[in-house]
Amino acid sequence: MKAIMRRKYSRHPDYLCDFCEEKVIDRLNHQTETGLFLCPDCFSYMVVLPGCIEETIERFLLGNVV
User: How many other CB atoms sit within 10 Å of the CB of residue 10?
Assistant: 16
The tally of domains found in the chain comes to 1
Q: If pLDDT is split at 50, 70 and 90, which confidence band does 1 have? A: very low
Q: Identify which has the larger pLDDT, 15 or 53.
A: 53
Q: Is 29 helix (H, G, I), strand (E, B) or coil?
A: coil
CA dist 8 and 28 (Å) reads 10
Structural domain contains residue 6: no
pLDDT of residue 50: 93
**Cα dihedral 42, 48, 11, 60 sign:** negative
Q: If pLDDT is split at 50, 70 and 90, which confidence band does 45 have? A: very high
Structural domain contains residue 8: no
Q: What is the pTM assigned to this prediction?
A: 0.68
Structural domain contains residue 56: yes
Mean pLDDT over all residues of the chain? 78
Parent domain of 28: 14-62
Structural domain contains residue 2: no
The Cα-based distances of 56 to 17, 26, 65 in angstroms read 17, 26, 7
